[in-house]
Amino acid sequence: MFDVRVSDEVATALAEGRAVVAMESTIFSHLGLPSPSNEEALSRCERAVRAVGAVPAVTAVFNGAAHVGTSQTDRERVCGPAKKMAERDIPVAIAQGWNFGATTVSAALTLAERAGIRVFATGGIGGVHRGSELTGDISADLEAIARRAVVTVSAGAKAFLDLARTLEYLETAGVPVLGWQTDEFPAFYTRTSGLNVPHRVETAEVVAAAFHNRTRADQGVLLAVPIPEADSLDAERLDAALASALEECEAQGIRGAAITPFVLERIAAGTDGDSLPANLALAEHNAEVAAQVAVAIAQFC
């Protein structure tokens, strides 16, 4: 089993029972948002976490070592070139000494749980892809959410996925899906998807209590947080851009992990760049809510 290097700030916070929020690093790297928006996203998310009274902990592999929490030097590296790293890639990243392995949801959850962090903030999770009955394309994010004892805070799942089947998968996996002050499962850039969430919650304290009373020691919880209303994209315009992007994917034979960056790039173009500020806003909002939950869990325990 690999070791995790926890930064001094994060280690001190955990030892003192204070709130910590883990974050993935893909969104902040060149694989996520374009520069300088990725740097802005990192700064905004970190400030949002600290403003609530929690400590941010970016997860990554640097020079073949797993890290939770970053130094100033590492923080600069987070916004640079990287290799995308899911949970399955962590052993390879360590063995091959990757310069920077940027964590996806599944990898970040693995490192967060190993460090003892109970709350993780991201933009949107992966899920069941459209046409999965033929391709079998289901994100490893879902399995990680189901079996890592961490509350995952996200703006639902990425809009180009099969959201109904994603919710069905989570139900089968025994994941409590909570809607943050909403009755509908959010669809990343928009606040609603037409799909109900199993449980609506109004406060971080209720999320903390639900996590505390989970039925398995390894059971995760998904908290779905709608994008702020002022930052939500127009649904019709987004649907048109999404449909066009998915048609291009099919025509070009794009499959697997390549779908996400391709579709997001096409959505950005199809919305005249409006998806970028929306992405920044939802990531920051998720970080803020995650910090509230982390504080509530720290107080609960």
Which of 84, 113, 158, 288 is an active site residue? 158
* Dihedral (Cα; 159, 228, 233, 180), 10-degree rounding: 30
Query: Residue 86: which residues within 8 A CB-CB, separation 6 or more?
Result: 104, 106, 107, 140
The alpha carbon of 215 is separated from its chain's Cα centroid by a whole number of angstroms, namely 23
Active site residue 158: yes
Distance CA 79, CA 95 (A): 23
Determine whether 24 is an active site residue. Answer: yes
Residue 52 φ/ψ, nearest 5 degrees: -85, -15
Other Cβ atoms less than 10 A from the Cβ of 277: the count is: 13
DSSP structural state of residue 7 = -
Q: Mind telling me the catalytic residues? A: 24, 158
